[in-house]
Structure 1
Amino acid sequence: MAGKVVLTYFDGRGKMESIRWLLTVAGVEFDEVHLTTRDQYLKLLNGGVLMFQQVPLVQMDGMNLVQTKAILHYIADKYNLHGKDPKERVKINMYAEGIIDLMEMIMILPFTADAKPKLENIETKAKERYMPVFEKALSEQTYLVGGKLTYADVLLLEGTLMLEEKFPSILADFSNVKNFQNRMTKIPAIAGFLQPGSKRKGQPDEKYVKTVMEVFALSKTPF
């Protein structure tokens, strides 16, 4: 387990996708184990590797890592993507957790019976609450914190691309964010990750939803 990094999750985005993004930017190769049956999940539970009985699970450096934010922090700390001191790190975490909040609203859409009002809420909050914060931050420097790439920048790119999948013109009034996005996509590791055939996952489909429901033995969508 101390060798190559192994990710255990569904064959889809969900909470693992930000981890895939960050490992890719850090230049870390990883393998994936995709959960497709409930038996696989029960085996993980019985094996004691899921501290809170939840995935994502990331096996790296001899550890079984769970809880998405903790995993992101570990990777960011290890690969110098988390700021130079506590003041920078707390700013990075605030920006990162803001975009995570927004992305999680998008993540639950496939499991929602009536997505239309949720979509309207996401669009409103993106325009009024989240994007103005990033627009202001990026008016002052190339990256969000400290003038260098951090994991918050990686998550912001991921989040804005997710938004544009739902609302193609949403960045029209946020030129700093759009310019940031364009710069980020030119970073070689990111440019490769955005190409077809990479380990980036596509938008969740019915098969993904069905698999998640079956693995967790859910009889109806939870939202």
Structure 2
Amino acid sequence: MAAKPKLHYVSTRGRMEPIRWLLAAAGVEFEECFVKTKDDLTKLRKDGFLLFQQVPMVEMDGMKMVQTRAILNYIAAKYNLYGKDLKERALIDMYVEGLFDLNELLIMHFIQPADKKEQHLATIVDKATNRYFPVFEKVLKEHGQDFLVGNQLSRADVQLLEILLMAEECKPDILAQFPLLQSFKARISSVPTIKKFLQPGSQRKPPPRQEDIPEIMKIFY
């Protein structure tokens, strides 16, 4: 039996969370080795496990993979979440790259100082509702299927759902003017593997708490 993937990162969402989501959606059990101190990170670097001196790092299939996009590409291809041909893969890549841009904004929101949170939220709402969400509302309307690409679950669906839920954590009514995205959220949330990941007690991480940010920052800086 193949060893479970082993995920090396701090115990928070950050850039590992899309990887957790995709493995969970694929029905793959994984272990987590949390980087708790600066010494833990230094040891990984000295041992030569971090190609570019950075986490996330995932041990899987005899490899020690770094760079979030590369890891996600591998998981998606391995578990049939990357479309049926090059054209579908190109669409998935386009959608996912757009989602990464919005994901960065959402990640940064939770670590904003209190006096900047309101303005940062305004930026998120503006970009989400005027640039990103209209794209996916249009894609769902024109495609006319349950999923974004083809007619089967792909990494684009998984990562869009993750983004929608994060956006709602910031502003609960952010999807009010996007009925197809609301339906999409309900539909993809009911996929059995994803439904399991959304249950309490799963390896899905909660939003970082403001009081935890200084300790996390000490690890990296």
Q: Which TM-score band applies after superposition, normalised by the shorter structure?
A: over 0.9
TM-score after normalising by structure 1: 0.94
Per the alignment, in what secondary structure is the counterpart of residue 138 of structure 1?
A: helix
Query: Would you say the 8 A contact 1:12–1:208 is kept in 2?
Result: no
Aligned with 2:194 (options 185, 190, 193) = 190
| Equivalent residues, number | 216
Cα offset for 1:207?
A: 4.7
What is aligned with 1:221? none
Q: Which residue of 2 aligns with 1:57?
A: 57
CA contact (8 A) 2:8 2:57 kept: yes
1:150-194 Cα offsets, whole Å, 9 max, x none, are: 000000000000000111111111011110100111111111111
Residue 120 of structure 2 is aligned to residue 118 of structure 1: yes
TM-score by length of 2: 0.94
| Partner Cα distance (1:50, 1:149) in 2 | 31
Greater than 4 Å deviation, 4+ residue runs: none
Are the structure 2 counterparts of residues 105 and 19 from structure 1 closer, same or farther at C-alpha, using a change threshold of 3 Å? same
**Residue in 2 that maps onto 1:160:** 164
Contact in 1 for aligned 2:109/2:120 (Cα 8 Å): yes
Superposition pairs of residues 163-174 of structure 1, within 5 angstroms: 163-174=167-178
Point out where structure 1 has 5 or more consecutive residues left out of the alignment: 218-223
The 1:9/1:184 distance shift into structure 2, 3 A limit, reads same
1:123-158 C-alpha deviation (Å, 9 max, x unpaired): 000000000010011112211111111000000000
Which of 141, 144, 147 aligns to 2:148? It is: 144
SS at match of 1:14: coil
Aligned residues of 1:81 and 1:150 also touching (Cα < 8 A): yes
Counterpart of 2:83 in structure 1 is 83
Give the deviation of 1:211 after TM superposition.
2.7
Q: CA deviation at 1:77?
A: 0.3
Offset at residue 116 of structure 1 (A): 2.0
Instruction: Check if 1:22 corresponds to 2:26.
Output: no
- More divergent stretch after superposition (109-118 vs 31-40): 109-118
Task: Kindly provide the amino acid, as one letter, of the partner of residue 132 in structure 1.
Answer: P
Q: What's the counterpart of residue 36 of structure 2? A: 36
2:107 matched residue in structure 1: 107
Aligned-pair distance for 1:110?
Answer: 3.0
RMSD: 1.1
Which whole-Å CA distance do the structure 2 matches of 1:189 and 1:83 have between them?
19
Give the CA deviation at 1:81.
Answer: 0.4
For 2:28, what is the secondary structure of its paired residue? coil
User: Shift of the alpha carbon at 1:104?
Assistant: 1.0
- Which stretch of the first structure deviates more once superposed, 174-183 or 113-122? 113-122
